[in-house]
Chains A and B, each alone.
Chain A
Amino acid sequence: MSERITVDARGMACPGPITKLVRAYRKASPGTLIEVLATDPGFKPDVEAWAKRTGNEIVELAEENGVIRAVIRVTGKK
């Protein structure tokens, strides 16, 4: 089982959710799963761009009842 961190950024507008993700990422060790919950519609393209640029893997990205749920595996850290 890999370690899992959950970040609740619901109700936060840009750049709130990405800021919270960056901070969780700072603490995370390689292989950790970071789950982010957000309601800001801009979060979806932003998290995709972030993962691509930083070399981390998006395991799940879904939207349900206005809540975006992204699960990221930390693969960009050595």
Chain B
Amino acid sequence: MERILVLGAGTGGLVAANLLASHGYPVTLIEKRETHLFQPGMLWIAFQGHNPSRYTRPVKELIRPGVELVHGEVVGIDLGERLVHLADGRTFTYTTLIIALGAHLDYDSTPGHRELVERYGDFYSGASAAEKMWSHFKELTSGRLVIAAADPLYKCPPAPHKAAFLAAYTLRRMGRLGSVEVHLALPFLHEYPSEVIARIVAPKLEEAGVRVSTLFTVESIDVGEGKIYSLEGEELDFSLAAVIPAHRGPTVRMEPGEVLDEDGFIKVDKYRLNVEGYDDAYAIGDASNAPTSKTGVTAHLGAEVVVDRIMGYDSRFNGRTNCPIVADGTASFVISSYDHPPVPVKFTRFKRMLEDLFIASYWSSLMYPERWAPIFRAYFNATDPRVISGGW
């Protein structure tokens, strides 16, 4: 009997499972957490004091009839035997597997990082970490807030920029931007990995009153002294700091081990998204090594491609990104694909409205991806990087 197994009820896993159910496939979805977190929401919790309940929902309320939800932690995947092992000893077989376990956050490769997160929270480690960050941020009346990253590879490349913008606007509204410095320390050569985007973001950061350091990759953190040291040999003092952890692939035992790259991400065919060497197993979203940005948009689009392929269509993933950069009242998007580098996209109010619409549609788009598909398709076609290559 056919059994499609989806691992992880994050963005990619929920879209895949709900879409399959809408087409009448029996699906089993395995997830270790009770609640799903809309991860970008952590930015608004941490730096604008939003209530976490706005961004979290029980997983069981996000699945359609036809999806069987299993609460459990995956510890092993055996691709040859088609077996998935859970921590509690249960074992599942499958005819088709979709791995959507996201990325693992690695605090231990950066000395002092765990202590920093325990003390101040951050905007990557979960809703309660974001609440903790807010509790410190709202009390900050002087000194320096540092937003930095431990490695250049992390999900949502513009997330630190968004954090800096949101923090700066909150401080301005509190009348504290003069006494508190927002310092964005980036592990890139320019203000963004792509120079085209850097040229658009840099003046906006300056306008917002954010100070920027480039080529600053966090190597270690001294929480007691309030100092962050970079791999490039510089240091920054902080009163409050949030450091994006290094990202690794999911922490499950994979058989065979060769399907993992050096960071533990699952090697896939970048167009078909099947695990290298297997046509009955796919990896989507942050867990895969597909050479594109790790974002909810790519996880969602990847899920659609995989479901199409399971249904017998020859769909291909094109690596499309649509990472929003939210500034005060305006937004821009980082739009690229496998065969097109990021295009220059200006900050406008209209794009901010689009981004706010995307955020508002989130829960519905997880549950009813097929209803949103024509709307998203129209947007993605209209903003295909080849179509808007001259700028938007």
Contacts and interface: CB of A to CB of B under 8 A. Distances in A.
A19 B294 CA distance: 15
A26 B231 contact: yes
Contact of B341 (A13, A76, A77): A13
A76 B232 contact: yes
B231 A49 contact: no
Contacts of A25: 231
Contacts of A16: 291
Interface string B166-192: 000000000000000000000111000
B233 A19 contact: no
B193 interface: yes
B232 A19 contact: no
B291 A12 contact: yes
Contacts of A77: 233
A53 B215 contact: yes
A76 to B, nearest CB: 6
B217 interface: yes
A34 B291 CA distance: 23
B153 interface: yes
B153 A19 contact: yes
Interface in B316-344: 341
A22 interface: yes
Contact of A49 (B151, B153, B189, B232): B189
Nearest to A53: B215
A14 B340 CA distance: 11
Interface residues of A, number: 22
Contacts of B189: 15, 18, 46, 49-50, 53
11 contacts: A12-B291, A13-B291, A22-B231, A26-B217, A26-B231, A46-B189, A50-B215, A53-B189, A54-B215, A76-B233, A77-B233
B355 interface: no
B233 A54 contact: yes
B219 interface: yes
Contacts of B219: 26
Contacts of B187: 22
A16 B194 CA distance: 11
Interface string A1-45: 000000000011111101100110110000000000000001000
Interface residues of B, number: 17
A22 B246 CA distance: 13
Contacts of A76: 232-233
A55 interface: yes
A78 B219 CA distance: 14
Nearest to A23: B151
B152 interface: yes
Interface string B148-172: 0001110000000000000000000
A49 B187 CA distance: 13
Given A49-B189, A76-B232, 12 more contacts: A13-B291, A13-B341, A14-B193, A19-B152, A19-B153, A22-B152, A23-B152, A46-B189, A50-B215, A54-B232, A54-B233, A76-B233
A19 B176 CA distance: 35
* List of 10 A-B pairs having minimum Cβ-Cβ separation, nearest first: A15-B193, A19-B152, A54-B232, A53-B215, A49-B189, A26-B231, A19-B153, A22-B152, A22-B217, A46-B189
A15 B194 contact: yes
A13 B195 CA distance: 13
B12 to A, nearest CB: 22
Most B C-beta atoms less than 10 A away, residue of A14, A76, A78: A14
A24 to B, nearest CB: 11
A55 B194 contact: no
A25 B187 CA distance: 13
Contacts of A26: 217, 219, 231
Contacts of A23: 151-152
Contacts of B341: 13-14
Contacts of A49: 189
Contact of A14 (B153, B194, B231, B233): B194
